[in-house]
Amino acid sequence: MKKTGIQFDKFLIYSIFLGILLSRSALADVLPSEFVKKEVTFIDKKAGVTLAGKLYLPKVKRPLPAVIVIAGAGPYVLGPYFLSLADALAQKGIAVLCYDKRGLGKSTGDFKSAHTEDLAQDALAGFEFLRQYPGIDPLKVGMIGHSQGAQIVPMVAVESGNVAFVVLMSGEGIRVDKRHTLSDIRVATYEGADPQVIQVLKDIDQKSFRELETQKDDSLVKKKLDAIITKGLSRLNESEKGQLRGVLGDDLEAFEKKELTPGYGAALVRDPGEILQKIKCPVLAINGDKDTVMVYPENLKGIAKALKKGKNSNYNIKVFPGLNHLLQYCKTGSPKEVVPPQVTFAPEVIQFVTDWVVKKTK
């Protein structure tokens, strides 16, 4: 990768240093000792699974405010990505619970078969465990979620009614089908796709999602999707077809197979605003302006609109320039972009979230 200037070089040096600093073997040796880290487990009784995690407990005598961290999609186990945020919060007197997803790390259960609702039930069990833990102030326990975790947090907040505050990191704020279309268009744009390719891509998404929403016969849907994709490809030359495959996936059959997954069509019409408008506690929603998954600014605007509709005026919206979906430094945010090694959120994100949580728990 070519150098992009002095600022980039400084960041590269910083990233290498941070990677060493936050490696699992180094964490315990270099951080202050104002808090202790305990291995804990809690049980999702409804699912019959045991979740294993790490609890950060500041060494203070007063009842502790606390937060549980919910990871995004994928097989998350405890590591520097979230533990660095936990370190920062604990140093400011906030207890933090992070845990391995069900079926991963030291947690029991089956990760592959778990839906978002199942993971939300795990998160609710962790939240209640934290509220009841000795030394924790049960009235000051909040939740932080990233990506899929930011979908789960509102679900738990509404079901529980006891969540003191929520932080939505790279969360969704618009209907899922619209979010997917915006994401595909943004990725295609960043990758330099021709205008004709972007228009065909938009048509394929919109027509496919409409079929998935209205048609219940899977065999008929597949025929319709075949026809939609074939017609779209017929409008492109060979170079443009390659660009389209670069966005949707080289194997268009795999793209169709994903769309025909049970429940995918129903998920497309899910509107996060319906849950967000029911949240009554303080909310912080943050996004990187290079996010190609929860595209900025549409998703942040959607979150703010839903909260306002629910008459919740106690919220903060924050965008971080130059950060991607993982809230890390990038140039375009494209999934194919090669970026310097980064093991955690950008420092300014950790600082901003920590300061906000401290302020809301005073």
Choosing from 248, 267, 286, the residue where a domain stops is 267
Q: Are residues 306 and 232 in the same domain?
A: no
In a domain, 353, yes or no: yes
Burial of 245 (0-12, 13-18, 19+ CB in 10 A): middle
Average pLDDT over the chain, rounded to an integer: 88
Q: Are residues 151 and 128 in the same domain?
A: yes
- pLDDT of residue 14 exceeding 80, the answer is no
3-class DSSP string for the chain: CCCCCHHHHHHHHHHHHHHHHCCHHHHHHHCCCCEEEEEEEEEECCCCEEEEEEEEEECCCCCEEEEEEECCCCCCCCCHHHHHHHHHHHHCCCEEEEECCCCCCCCCCCCCCCCHHHHHHHHHHHHHHHHCCCCEEEEEEEEEEECHHHHHHHHHHHHHCCCCCEEEECCCCCCHHHHHHHHHHHHHHHCCCCHHHHHHHHHHHHHHHHHHHHCCCHHHHHHHHHHHHHHHHHCCCHHHHHHHHHHHCCCHHHHHHHHCCCCHHHHHCCCCHHHHCCCCCCEEEEEECCCCCCCCCHHHHHHHHHHHHCCCCCEEEEEECCECCCCCECCCCCCCCCCCCCCCCCHHHHHHHHHHHHHHCC
User: The tokens of 258 are what?
Assistant: 């994903």
Q: Are residues 251 and 282 in the same domain?
A: no
More confident residue, 89 or 8: 89
Q: Which residues contact 142 (CB under 8 A, 6 or more apart)?
A: 65, 66, 67, 68, 163, 164, 165, 166, 167, 281, 357, 360, 361
pLDDT digits (tens, 9 = 90+) for 42-55: 999 999 999 999 99
Name which of 180, 114, 119 is nearest 152 in CA terms. Answer: 119
Q: Are residues 251 and 338 in the same domain?
A: no
6-10, 35-39, 123-127, range with the lowest pLDDT: 6-10
pTM assigned to the model: 0.87
Q: Which residues contact 191 (CB under 8 A, 6 or more apart)?
A: 243, 246, 247, 334, 336
Residue 187 belongs to domain spanning: 176-267
In a domain, 54, yes or no: yes
In a domain, 64, yes or no: yes
- pLDDT of residue 80 exceeding 60, the answer is yes
Q: What is the per-residue pLDDT for 221?
A: 86
In a domain, 272, yes or no: no
In a domain, 1, yes or no: no
User: The tokens of 190 are what?
Assistant: 């960043």
Q: Are residues 36 and 84 in the same domain?
A: yes
Domain count, the chain: 2
CA distance 185 to 191: 10
Q: Are residues 16 and 123 in the same domain?
A: yes
Give the type of residue at 266: A
Q: What is the per-residue pLDDT for 185?
A: 94
Q: What is the mean pLDDT of residues 204-213?
A: 90
Q: What is the per-residue pLDDT for 5?
A: 36
Choosing from 267, 291, 320, the residue where a domain stops is 267
User: The tokens of 133 are what?
Assistant: 């833990």
Name which of 310, 311, 302, 355 is nearest 167 in CA terms. Answer: 355
Q: Are residues 96 and 112 in the same domain?
A: yes
Q: What percentage of the chain carries pLDDT values higher than 70? A: 90
CA distance 179 to 170: 12
In a domain, 273, yes or no: no
In a domain, 185, yes or no: yes
Q: What is the per-residue pLDDT for 250?
A: 67
Q: What is the per-residue pLDDT for 249?
A: 77
Choosing from 240, 267, 294, the residue where a domain stops is 267
Name which of 145, 82, 34, 164 is nearest 350 in CA terms. Answer: 82
